[in-house]
Amino acid sequence: MLTATIRTDDGQAVGILVLKDKVFRSGKQGYHGQGKIEMNGVRFQAQCQLVAITPKSDRGDVEAEGQ
């Protein structure tokens, strides 16, 4: 598990998203998290994803199998 901190330009943290392990439909592995954060009295829905970048020859995913 990872965390992603959302910060303003001056470095003030306004929210933290917890990113959990995920295998995406493409077969690629990574992390995904979502939540709500508040800035200046306005609520926002936020999400973050990290997807591993791998060469097609190293993947066994659906995309590579179709070629």
What confidence tens digit (pLDDT) does each residue in 30-46 have? 999 999 999 889 999 99
pLDDT at 65 over 60: no
Choice between 65 and 43, residue whose per-residue pLDDT is larger: 43
Question: What pLDDT, on the 0 to 100 scale, is given for residue 17?
Answer: 96
Name the token pair of 5: 């901190």
pTM of the shown model = 0.73
pLDDT tens per residue across span 2-26: 999 999 999 999 999 999 999 999 9
pLDDT at 62 over 90: no
Name the token pair of 66: 């179709």
Other CB atoms within 10 A of residue 5 CB:
10
Rounded CA gap, 25 and 51, in Å? 11
Pair 26, 20: CB distance under 8 Å: no
